[in-house]
A and B are shown apart, each in its own frame.
Chain A
Amino acid sequence: MDYSTLVIWVIALAMGIAAYYRREPCYREGLTLARKQTLIIIPRLILAVLAAGFFAQLIPTPWVARWLGKEAGLTGILIASLVGGLTPGGPILCFPLIYVFYKTGASVPALMAFLTAWSVLAFHRVLTYEIPLLGMRFVKIRFLSCLFLPPLAGLLTSLVINILHIDI
């Protein structure tokens, strides 16, 4: 068990205690929510990680390195932004996929752009939630106001890494 696992469990315990000692105890409700989430997430996570493990063996590594690796530079960041924005599905699919790219040689700035694009552009979420619930005008404004964020995140990342020489 490593450090971050320990921190997570300490926080979970503390919050459980807080919920237990609330004037209106709500910890049972919290546990029920967590159990429901576990039943949804865990089977999918196991399958997604398995798929990602096998998928990583099938992706031609030179291809990833060429288009998303260090050498790809700005092009890599832009490609990652585009692919990330178009990647459908929730985090259960996205994170194992990013992990595969990481393992097969994608650069940290490209990964950052990919993750940011998947988070903020989220084409699937625009279609399923935003247009029906919030209308086209809102979606237009929101899309235009955050279109530049993924490449910016990628560029800032490479800047920070180059200046501070940190190893991630």
Chain B
Amino acid sequence: MASTGEKKKTPFRDLSLIGFALFAIVTAATCYAKGGDIFHKGWDDALATLLQIFPKVVGAILIAGFVQVLVPRQLVIKWMGEKSGWKGLLIACVVGILTPGGPMVSFPLIAALRSLGATVGTLVAYLLSWELMGIQRLLIWDIPIMGVKFTLLRLSLSFFFPLLSGLIAQKLTLYFADTVKEGV
């Protein structure tokens, strides 16, 4: 599974690397054209930022790797597939936070949960919780770049969002049930 997945991803990965490189070159060249001091200011800023976030990002990547092997996916699916209502929503939020990895990990998990009978509300709560508070994202990106204070503020505000949206989605399911005849 892993090998075919990687083969598929390779062209896109290379493309994204080229994209970032092009973006860097174009902005650097534009700065240089505008004047040497502007170029140096940009270079110094970038270097300072890198020095500041680099050790954090590397440490966070390590954590993410260990989380992925320490949290068994089968257990998560079993846990969430069976529960519904408030309990299901709450569990969905917690599991969303703990799900490591990018969309390559979380979306197959959502598809699996759906086939096990999880409600739309639960799935929405899970998805939002992962998108807003996923542990890997918080560690690798939010804390190193936005800082601890901003991240804590964002977390305390975001904490109820998945629950809120999950409940709304639950209601919307009833409304859409009559108008759309397509299995969810």
Contacts and interface: CB of A to CB of B under 8 A. Distances in A.
Interface residues of B, number: 84
Contact of B124 (A119, A137, A146): A146
B161 A146 contact: yes
Contacts of B67: 15
Q: Is the contact region of chain B dominated by helix, strand, or loop, or is it mixed?
A: helix
B102 interface: yes
Contacts of B68: 30, 33
Contacts of B147: 168
B50 A55 contact: no
Contacts of B79: none
A145 B169 contact: yes
A116 interface: yes
A52 B28 CA distance: 10
A138 B161 contact: no
A163 interface: no
A140 B28 CA distance: 41
B173 to A, nearest CB: 6
Interface of A: 1, 4-5, 8-9, 11-12, 15-16, 18-19, 22, 26-27, 29-35, 37-38, 40-58, 89-96, 98-99, 102-103, 108, 111-112, 115-116, 119-120, 122, 125, 128-130, 133-138, 140-142, 144-146, 149, 152-153, 156-157, 160, 166, 168
B103 A125 contact: yes
12 contacts: A4-B56, A12-B60, A15-B67, A42-B58, A47-B20, A51-B24, A53-B43, A91-B141, A134-B184, A138-B123, A141-B176, A141-B184
